[in-house]
Amino acid sequence: MKVLSPLVSIALAQNTLCAANGYTSESEVPYYGRSPAVYPSPIGDGATSPVWQDAYQRAKTLVSQLTLEEKANLTRGFSGQCVGNTGAIPRLSIPSLCFADAPDGIRGQEFVSAFPAGIHVAATWDRSLMYRYGHALGEEYQGKGINVALGPVAGPLGRVARGGRNWEGLGADPYLAGGGMGAITKGFKDAGVIATAKHWLLNEEEWRRNPGDMGEALSSNVDDRTLHELYVFPFMDSLREGVGSVMCSYQRANHSYGCQNSKLLNGVLKTELGFEGFVVSDWEAQHAGVASANAGLDVVMPDGGFWGHNLTEAVSNGSVSSERLDDMATRILATWFSAGQDEGYPSPAVYSESEKHSPVDVQADHATLIREIGSAGTVLVKNVDNALPFTNSTRYLSVYGYDATVSEAPWANPSRYGGGYEVNFGWNTFNGTLITGGGSGGSTPPYVVSPFQALQERASRNRGTLRWDFYSENPSPAYVNSDACLIFINAYASEAFDRLSLTDEFSDNLVRNVAANCSNTIVIIHSTGIRTVNAWINHPNVTAVLFAGLPGQESGHSLVDILHGDISPSGRLPYTVAKNESDYGHLLNSTISFDAFPEVNFTEGLYIDYRAFDRDGIEPRFEFGFGLSYATFQYSDLEIISTRNSISPLVDPKIPIIQGGHPELWDVLFNATFSLTNTGDVSASEVAQLYIGIPNAPIRQLRGFERVPLESGETKQVTFPVTRRDLSIWDVVSQQWRLQTANYTLFVGASSRILHLNGTLEIV
């Protein structure tokens, strides 16, 4: 049994950090810039649930039969059929476990689906769709015989506006990201696949994420409270839903490499949060053998790293205890048992394109779900005089922009679509429509329905007319009979580098040039995240703008369903779009340093994205949570009702920790209930949002969301359960989540700044 106990902390703080976060003394910011040692690594025991308990009993029985070499063999990666492979022990029928990515579709394979990217799923603000997404992905991984899926992603969270991998994650708010992490993890788990929550932790930029010729990797330096309330927070949801694997990250955290950081692995993950599964390194992220073993790493990828024979020698000479090695092996096997993969799991059906083989088709009817999520995550941010949806009389369209069509075979450029496991990261703007980002997180589409293809299908059905010019920066003047001019642009990002800009001159010129000659110009942006639009958003001829995200293989169908009004848009921004890039301040760019020991100080503390804009009084172009609909909605009758659960300041220390944290953190303390009415003329879904003003914290923080489908004139009652964790702050002295004795203000509305209702609750 694990009982939460205070951990050693070292108060090394900066006065500027204290002031920035409202802390009154340096003692409130323990171990800023330095990670305290937390040893030994906790021994997993399966006590957090009956499923884990049974799995651990079986795993320990099996481990007791293994030799030293066999135990070490389980912990190291091998080259083989999959992107990662653990060692097998044939004499005991223990197979090699197959690891593969990406978090939005199986990379480099045929007869698999290309799902929307994480940032697009976050833009749906719909837990049901998030779960269905995870389950469908899990079915494909299971069908291919892949034991461990490398996703979902909450690291990066999105601290840096130009971060290269923000699109893999689930938005720039820990509560929204946590909702996605929990739902997707449950979907994977219910499909029988081991999910991997990544990247643990503080992997917020790509610049110098690994050591190299210039020196060591970047160190992300963060205080204890910010660590918990922002960056640990979304992983808690994944852990609570039973995630079996956590991937440690590349960069250093408080000057200790992520995969040998004993505070993060032994202290936070395995003690505070009761993690029962195994920690796997990111590929080539292990930088020491004994240190990583004792700090809590359980599996090293891809090819043995510093382990293998070295690990057996370290155990033999006492540098690593035999108990630690037993725990590594037990955690791996217990996770395998807990997923039920010992009971007839398929053998891996993962192939290279150069092999002759019999393909295994795992697509099922997932295209239908992909199309639905694609539409649900499309965000309408401007719609003047009901330019959208198109009416039956809208039959003549002019189409412009490089993003409208597929101008290159997706599989011809592995660097863009993740085709194959040896990934390079180059890219060319004019490769066509954007459905995923670059690098190991990118999917490999079986086909791509481009926007132009879907527009042609609709034009054919409606006996309409299209005219197009995909590549000119200054196309010929619009055809005079055009009902609308559609412009398709995009904003790309990839693993291995951070973005250099949130806009590009060619695309901005294209929009201005078309709008100069077309009075009904509609701009569609496929983007990996934030894309500023200041250059043309107020042009009087730009009548509508859609942030169409990274929607996956059914991209065109998802979009045309919105354009023609088959579906009312309900997507909401999972990040803040500023008027000017400078509005993001020091959170715009990655930290460029050529020092031998580069570092970035998270001096902003809790104030990233909308929290920073709210604090500094900066008006965004489009705020976090914003999105338009073809309907209108009325909010009314807010009630805040206590559940009578305990509101003691701290949780009961006698209650054992479960995976995900202290069980009382998940107790519902209040229910916020209100009425939501569709006052428009069409059926539509509204994304209602709850924000809470927590004392001694950002003025408002997201603490509830629900996508509510409503027929015209229909009213539904919506309830947001408010948990102890939702109201707590991390107390750095007691090393506990603390409820404050205070009044808390609740806001309910349609975005972080469109707040229709408010009320208070009191903790006494």
Using CA atoms, how far residue 638 sits from 53, 244, 674, 720, in Å, is: 43, 39, 4, 11
Element at 747 (helix H, strand E): strand 742-749
CA distance 620 to 1: 48
Are 688 and 706 in contact, with CB atoms under 8 Å apart?
yes
Structure tokens at 375: 């539409």
What HEC string does 639-671 produce?
Answer: EEEECCCCCCCCCCCCCCCECCECHHHHCEEEE
Judging by DSSP bridges, how do beta strands 736-738 and 715-723 pair with one another? Answer: unpaired
Are 565 and 387 in contact, with CB atoms under 8 Å apart?
no
Q: How many helices (H) and strands (E) are present in the chain, helices listed first?
A: 19, 26
Residue closest to 192 by CA, chosen among 51, 44, 88: 51
**Dihedral angle, C-alpha 86, 88, 92, 94, nearest 10 °:** 50
- 282 as an active site residue: the answer is yes
CA distance 720 to 639: 10
CA distance 366 to 179: 22
CA distance 253 to 476: 53
Residue closest to 151 by CA, chosen among 99, 188, 195: 195
Any idea what the Cα angle at residue 706 is, between residues 236 and 374, rounded to 5°?
90
Torsional sign, CA 672, 678, 683, 684: negative
Beta strand segments in 434-564, E: 465-469, 484-491, 521-527, 542-547
Beta strand segments in 555-651, E: 599-601, 633-642
667: amino acid identity, one letter: D
CA distance 364 to 302: 31
Judging by DSSP bridges, how do beta strands 484-491 and 599-601 pair with one another? Answer: unpaired
Any idea what the Cα angle at residue 132 is, between residues 131 and 138, rounded to 5°?
90
Torsional sign, CA 19, 24, 27, 30: negative
Task: Please report which residue ranges of 89-232 form alpha helices under DSSP H.
Answer: 118-122, 127-143, 174-190, 224-226
Catalytic pick among 282, 403, 614, 726? 282
Using CA atoms, how far residue 32 sits from 28, 39, 219, 223, 601, in Å, is: 10, 19, 12, 5, 9
Distance of alpha carbon 189 from the chain centroid: 17
Are 670 and 641 in contact, with CB atoms under 8 Å apart?
yes
What HEC string does 373-395 produce?
Answer: HHHHCCEEEEEHHHCCCCCCCCC
CA distance 176 to 170: 7
First to last CA, the chain: 32
Structure tokens at 482: 């055009």
What residue has token string 């229910």? 671
Contacts of 471 by beta carbon, 8 Å cutoff, 6+ apart:
402, 430
Catalytic residue numbers read 282
